[in-house]
Chains A and B, each alone.
Chain A
Amino acid sequence: MKKDILWGADYRYNFDRDIYFNRKAKKAFSLEFVDDKSEEEIRKRIGENTESAGWTFYFNSIPSDSVRQELERVLG
């Protein structure tokens, strides 16, 4: 199950924002993205290297700057 893949990779669920996140990896997956993508794709994204110092958001629709800022503030 996709949920188990994410939990196994130390992702936690933010109930208020409906996202899976990992503070160490600085990655967040929206529930919509997780629902729509295959397990293989989720695994690939979890393992992929991100060069950016900030958070990487895996969303179906690319989040705007203001949405990113708000989520970065919430996720810490």
Chain B
Amino acid sequence: MFRRTIPDQLREEYFDLLPEIGRVAGYLEAEIRYHTREILQRLQPYEQLVFKSRVKGCESALQSLRRRQEGGTFDAGRPDAYSLLDLPDLAGVRVLVFPRSRLTDVDLVLREVFEGWSYDPVPDGAGGVLAPKYSGRRTQVSRKVRAEYQIVPMLIGLYWEVEHSAIYKPAPAGKGLKNKAASEPMEDLNASVVRALLNFEAEFERRKLDPFERTCDS
């Protein structure tokens, strides 16, 4: 008898869920925009707050679920053991913030609104937090689909957009590159870029806050 593969089964689940995932992403973005509006209104001309919502793509969701299994492999003997609803980030919002000092303001406000969401920050590789990340449900819109929001320093976030789409997005043609990305030289280069961007922001903020520097600049 013909039996569908686990990926095909999950693709069907994905398209059944898609309208609901879209609603969660839209709702989450609206809610985040609403609760950060006062910060947005107080921004200096050089400061920025940008909101980007996204629905996880079908193949990306499948790969993500597969890679959560030990050995990155679905067990064909247990087709009922898998559901895309196990993913914490089918819908997501990324808040890009510049400069980095604004990140704490946004984080504090949203943490209160999304009380009870799981905290799973992106580490900075030096024992600190690069970007706070939270996941949970908005039951007003969906009891099933979990969503994620993250607050990211803008320069890092824009770098990730290029880096992720070039290297990490699942595409057969990019597979070789993907493996190379896990290699030490690429890891080191990646860490250097992140460090350079963070240093740039730190120096920028130091100059902005230093009255002497401000006088000299103007």
Would B72 and A18 count as touching, CB distance under 8 A? yes
Q: Which of A15, A30, A67 contacts B75 (CB 8 A)?
A: A67
Interface flag for B128 (CB, 8 Å): no
Task: Indicate the member of B71, B73, B74, B179 with the most A CB atoms within 10 Å.
Answer: B71
Q: Which of B70, B74, B178, B182 has the most chain A CB atoms closer than 10 A to its own CB?
A: B70
Partner of B76, one of A19, A30, A66: A66
CA distance A7 to B78 in the complex (A): 33
B167 CB to closest chain A CB (Å) equals 10
A40 to B75, CA, bound (A): 30
User: Once the chains bind, are B77 and A66 in contact (CB under 8 Å)?
Assistant: yes
User: A-contacting residues of B (Cβ < 8 Å)?
Assistant: 67, 70-78, 175, 178-179, 181-182
Q: Which applies to chain A's interface (DSSP): helix, strand, loop or mixed?
A: mixed
Interface-centre pick from A32, A64, A66, A67 (highest chain B CB count, 10 A): A67
Given contacts A65-B77, A67-B75, contact A13 B70 (CB under 8 A): no
Contacting pair A13 B182 (CB below 8 A): yes
> Contact: B72 with A17, CB < 8 Å?
yes
Determine whether the beta carbon of A67 is less than 8 Å from that of B73.
yes
Contact in complex: B182, A30 (CB < 8 Å):
no
Q: How many residues of chain A get a CB closer than 8 Å to chain B's CBs?
A: 22
Cβ–Cβ contact A17 & B75, under 8 A: no
Judge whether B75 and A66 touch: CB under 8 Å.
yes
Q: Are A32 and B70 in contact (CB under 8 A)?
A: yes
The reply to whether B70 and A70 contact each other, CB–CB distance below 8 Å, is no
Is the beta-carbon distance between B179 and A17 smaller than 8 angstroms? no
The answer for the CA separation of A64 and B75 in the assembled complex, in Å, is 7
Residues of B within 8 A of A18 (CB): 67, 71-72
Residues in chain A near residue B78, CB distance under 8 A: 64
Tell me how far the C-beta of A47 lies from the nearest C-beta in chain B, rounded to whole angstroms.
Answer: 22
A-B CB contact pairs (8 Å), 10 listed: A15-B179, A15-B182, A17-B67, A17-B71, A19-B72, A32-B70, A57-B71, A59-B71, A66-B77, A70-B73
Q: Which residues of chain B have C-beta atoms less than 8 A from A66's C-beta?
A: 75-77
Bound complex: CA A33 to CA B67 (Å)? 15
- The 7 A-B pairs of least Cβ separation, nearest first, read A17-B72, A15-B182, A66-B76, A67-B73, A30-B70, A64-B75, A70-B73
